[in-house]
Structure 1
Amino acid sequence: MKNKHITAVLLGTSLMTLGACSPVGFFSEAGSRLDTGSFGNATMNNMMVQSGEEGYMLDLAKRFSEQVPSTVNFEFNRSELDESARAILRQQANWIRQFPEVRFRVYGHTDLVGSNAYNRGLGQRRANAVVNYLVSQGISRSRLEAVVSFGETRPLIATQNRERRNRRTVTEVSGFVKSHPRVIDGKYAQIIYREYVASATAVSGLTGVNGGGSDE
């Protein structure tokens, strides 16, 4: 009886030791230590590169930031668009209209005056104002991704004082409209060919298109 008791104690101690050594527990699912949530991302990225999607998106993002102003600024503690901001957004809308298969994201920012909670809300309102104005210029709201606000956490100028350059929104290329015919059919060659033809057009040709009509 004594030997059985000793055996049971030793077995229990061994199981406890094994459980302590394993960060995922003794009865974890096989392979759980290998999958940290990013399993398959490398394969997905390779597919995007091979299909031309990744390179095309990066090229578009670069062109957008080079050919039109991507940033608009705001008065202190305000989210209304002044005429300078509206003029910039009309340029953005003219450019965006040329690429109906592309989605965009707008980020709202503030300066460092005020609490973080208040500034996150203010940054959100600024980004919403930009999205609403782009929609008024004929850009489908479905192409403008869920608005993200960084509030005061990413200043351009590190100062605790009022700084207009920190009170801004930034518009960026974020991806493709998956339901668009060119994308769903995998016709990236057509997109790239269109880019090849457009490359012979002066930059003013892209940014000077009259802003009529809707891309919805």
Structure 2
Amino acid sequence: MRISTLILCGALLAVSACGDGFDRETGGDNTSEFGNATMNNTLIQSGQKEYTMQLAGRFAREVPSTITFAFNSSQLDGNAVATLRQQADWIKTFPEVRFRVYGHTDLVGSNASNQALGLRRAQAVVAFFASQGISRNRLEAMASYGETRPVVQTPAPEERNRRTVTEVSGFVKNHPALLNGKYAAVIHREYLVLAERAHPSNQVIATQTSGN
């Protein structure tokens, strides 16, 4: 009796396994994330993901990545323009790198209107970068999170939520400097340039000796 019970259980497990997709051909894609995982592995193995993260960290440390907006507006004010000029200068330093601008809103208004407003804000930043001579091809995406990712969780108008954030998103495909996958060379190139620059305080100070 015990043996027959075990056989029955085994049969039930086999049937349930078939229902979970094990009846597919060998090598079949059992998850919708297979392609994403493969792409992720490729980026890691090539070094692109690691160096993208390094550059993203440098960008966040060396320049302000966020600007804010007036209520229900996508216009760039003087403070925003000053910050975006810093961002643009940094972006032009790395012509092999792509960037992404995310638009956000506060929690006032409908989701649909906030999605549209967040996108307009991101587009305003991209337009500014283009006016500074940066190719739109390097600004690979303009994503609007609308009201879904507030800095401050409040239903009231909040300037810190009305923002755009600029981030490093990857490397320009088939850029001549990256044909051999030399992502590390791109990262460290600017360090070498900075090391060669004369520090402003390194000046010879002339001294006079007084005779007694």
User: For this structure pair, what is the TM-score category when the shorter chain's length is used for normalisation?
Assistant: 0.7 to 0.9
Q: Which residue pairs with 2:205 in the alignment?
A: none
User: Are residues 1:113 and 2:108 paired?
Assistant: yes
SS in 2 for 1:54: helix
The alignment yields a C-alpha RMSD, in angstroms, of 2.8
| Cα distance in 2, alignment partners of residues 170 and 177 from structure 1 | 20
SS in 1 for 2:95: coil
Counterpart contact for 1:109–1:154, Cα < 8 Å = yes
Question: Structure 1 vs Structure 2: percent identity of aligned residues?
Answer: 59
| Cα distance in 2, alignment partners of residues 59 and 95 from structure 1 | 14
Alignment CA distance shift 1:135-1:164 (3 Å): same
Q: Which residue pairs with 1:62 in the alignment?
A: 57
User: Are residues 1:30 and 2:9 paired?
Assistant: no
Alignment CA distance shift 1:201-1:147 (3 Å): farther
Uncovered stretches (5+) of structure 2, i.e. residues with no partner: 1-10, 201-212
User: Are residues 1:166 and 2:153 paired?
Assistant: no
| Cα distance in 1, alignment partners of residues 75 and 187 from structure 2 | 38
- CA deviation vs aligned residue, 1:81-136 (integer Å, no higher than 9, x gap): 11111111111000000001100000000000001111000000000000000110
Alignment CA distance shift 1:192-1:168 (3 Å): closer
| Cα distance in 2, alignment partners of residues 192 and 129 from structure 1 | 28
Match of 1:142 among 137, 158, 171: 137
More deviation, 130-139/40-49: 40-49
SS in 2 for 1:161: coil
User: Are residues 1:39 and 2:4 paired?
Assistant: no
Q: Which amino acid aligns with 2:20?
A: P
Q: Which residue pairs with 1:200 in the alignment?
A: 195
Alignment CA distance shift 1:87-1:193 (3 Å): closer
SS in 1 for 2:30: coil
Match of 2:128 among 116, 128, 133: 133
Alignment CA distance shift 1:45-1:114 (3 Å): closer
Q: Which residue pairs with 1:181 in the alignment?
A: 176
Match of 1:86 among 78, 81, 90: 81
Q: Which residue pairs with 1:8 in the alignment?
A: none
Alignment CA distance shift 1:25-1:52 (3 Å): closer
| Cα distance in 2, alignment partners of residues 63 and 44 from structure 1 | 24
Counterpart contact for 1:19–1:25, Cα < 8 Å = no
Q: Which amino acid aligns with 1:24?
A: G
SS in 2 for 1:159: coil
Normalised TM-score (structure 1) = 0.76
| Cα distance in 1, alignment partners of residues 186 and 125 from structure 2 | 27
- CA deviation vs aligned residue, 1:25-81 (integer Å, no higher than 9, x gap): 85x43343x531333656654554454322221111011011111001000000111
Normalised TM-score (structure 2) = 0.77
- Counting matched residue pairs gives 187
Q: Which residue pairs with 1:9 in the alignment?
A: none
More deviation, 62-71/50-59: 50-59
Q: Which residue pairs with 2:117 in the alignment?
A: 122
Q: Which residue pairs with 1:99 in the alignment?
A: 94
| Cα distance in 2, alignment partners of residues 158 and 164 from structure 1 | 12
SS in 2 for 1:170: strand
Counterpart contact for 2:94–2:186, Cα < 8 Å = no
Counterpart contact for 2:103–2:145, Cα < 8 Å = yes
